[in-house]
Structure 1
Amino acid sequence: MTTATLEAPTEHLVLDESALKAASRSLDDGVLTPSYGPWRDDIVKLLNGALATELVCVLRYKRHYFTAVGVDSLSIADEFLVHANEESAHADKIAERIVQLGGDPDFSPDSLKSRSHAQYDDSKDLQSMIRANLVAERIAIEAYRQMITLIGDKDPTTRRMLEEILTQEEEHADELKDWLQ
């Protein structure tokens, strides 16, 4: 019989005192402490892509809400409106975070479509609307998963926000999938 011995760690968890002192300077930077390092601009760019995607999704869901027709259209159209409002809330959270990071949220309609990961859709029949929204949700899910991985521990606040949005996008996709059956 062998006995395992636990070795004491060679390193200890201690705070970086120089970083704490640096955080007391440059108060105009708000939440941006030196630990944000070189990643802030990249994170703002990723968030502006997500913002464009959410805004295009709002527009697509709103159009589908107003134009859905058919036997099942009333209940599904109502859910399109719920999704539109939830996507709008996502856009608001993302824009707020961009500002906290010292960036400018890009609401420009001129480039919205080209910056969005998801497409706008003007389908006429209910099943095509559901499919288009499911495709867009799946694209958003993949984009958020990638952003979460890329950001990792570089910005835990943004990562947690994206994880919350991802949860809701997965709920949307699950609901849309059920409507196709």
Structure 2
Amino acid sequence: MAGDLDTRFPDAQSSLGLALWRASTSWQRHIRAALAPHDLTHVQYVLLASLTWMDRTVPVSQRDLAAHTELDVMMTSQVLRALETKGYIRREPHPEDGRANALHPTERGIELANLATRDVESADASYFAALTPTQRDSLLAAFQHLASPPSVAPDQRTPHDPSSSEDQR
């Protein structure tokens, strides 16, 4: 029955979470449209672009890539298989970890990552153009703050907390 929701908000527009949800889905539509000509999903793009960026410094394992993108390891594995099937990435034995493979973008993958990145960055610029530069800076700072892991104050650590200095012997 309408109107029976037990909420602290007087109306939907007052909910920060709902506003974030709506902005996020609106932004995702813009990104999907930018990626459609490249036949990439948003997750495929994030993994391919991240791998292309990371590959210039050190060998990248699937676990490294999942951690960098903050995606589930199993989802990362499935999406990487699709990118490999399309010829955008390749795997070879990891030089430092015999249990892992090192991932590398292929030349086609690098080309696609760069083309798609230009379109994604254009879509971002277009989407966020409704904000002033100050609003964009504030929004970026707020997102970075929300996405960073919470720190644990020293007096809140438990004896079994791995960040406790006694456990770091």
Using the size of structure 1 for normalisation, the TM-score is: 0.32
| Structure showing the higher helix proportion among its residues | 1
| Structure showing the higher strand proportion among its residues | 2
Using the size of structure 2 for normalisation, the TM-score is: 0.34
Higher relative contact order (CA 8 A, sep 6+): 1
